[in-house]
Amino acid sequence: MKQMIPALVIISVLFYALYLSNQPKQTKSPIEKTEKMTNLKYAKHIEAHKEHHFEEELKRLRTSQYTKEYIVSVINHGSNQFNFRGGEMEGGFASPNDAAKIACYVLELSGKKCKQAHEKDAPMFYSSICAGCHGEDGKGLNGTYPDLTRKKLLGVEKREAFLKSLMAKTK
Ligand code: HEC
C-alpha cells in the first residue's frame, strides 16, 4: 500500500489539473466589469446632455458663483500659471472653510457678490492672509501680484479661451 501513495498523489494532481482546465474561464475581471459599468453610465450621462459640458461651463463662467469657485480652488490648491514676479502662490494659506468666506469678500472688492454678504470675519481673514501680497483693496502689485478685482480673473479668462478653442474644434 505504501508504495502506491506517490502514484495516488500524482493521479490526484492530474485529475485536479484536468478539472481546472475544464472549468469555464472567468471572462471578466471585477475591474473590467466596473469599467464597463462606468463607461455605460458615462455614455448615458452624455446622451442626457443636449450640449457639451464645455458649452455649459462657458455659460456658467460669467456668473459670480463660478468666479467664487475659482477663487476657492486657488486658495485651496494654489496657482502657478502666470508670470508674476511674486512667483507661484502656494495652496492652503487658509482652511477650506475660511476659503469660501474669503472668496465672497474678494468678490465684493471687485463689485460682485455671493448669494449672501460676506461673513463678519472674512475681511479680517483677507487682511491677515492675502492682503500682504494682493493689497488691502485687492488690486495687487503691478506685475508682482495679480489684481483680484479685475472684471474677469486671469484664470477664468484663460479657461474661457481654452473652452472656446475646444468649441471651435467641434464645429
Ligand atoms: C505670498 C504672496 C501671496 C499670498 C499670501 C496670496 N497670494 Fe494669491 N497669488 C499670488 C501670486 C504670485 C499669484 C499668481 C500665481 C500664478 O502665476 O499663477 C496669485 C494668484 C491668485 C489668484 C488668481 C488670480 C487670477 O487673476 O486668476 C487668486 C484668485 C488669488 N491669488 C487669491 C488669493 C487669496 C484669496 C489669498 C489669501 C487667502 C491669496 N491669494 C494669498 C501671491 C499670493
Site of grid cell 511674486: 86
Residues 6+ apart with CB under 8 A from 166: 52, 54
pLDDT at residue 122 above 80? Answer: yes
pLDDT in tens, 16-31: 888 877 777 667 788 8
How far is it, in rounded angstroms, from Cα 114 to Cα 76? Answer: 18
Name the band, by pLDDT with cuts 50, 70 and 90, for residue 1: low
* Ligand 1, CB within 6 Å, residue ranges: 71, 74-75, 79-82, 84, 86-89, 93-94, 102, 106, 129-130, 132-134, 145-146, 148, 153-155
Q: Are 54 and 163 in contact (CB under 8 A)?
A: yes
What is the share, in percent, of the chain residues with pLDDT greater than 70? 96
Q: pLDDT tens, 61-98?
A: 999 999 999 999 999 999 999 999 999 999 999 999 99
Q: Which atom of ligand 1 is nearest to the CA of 86?
A: 12
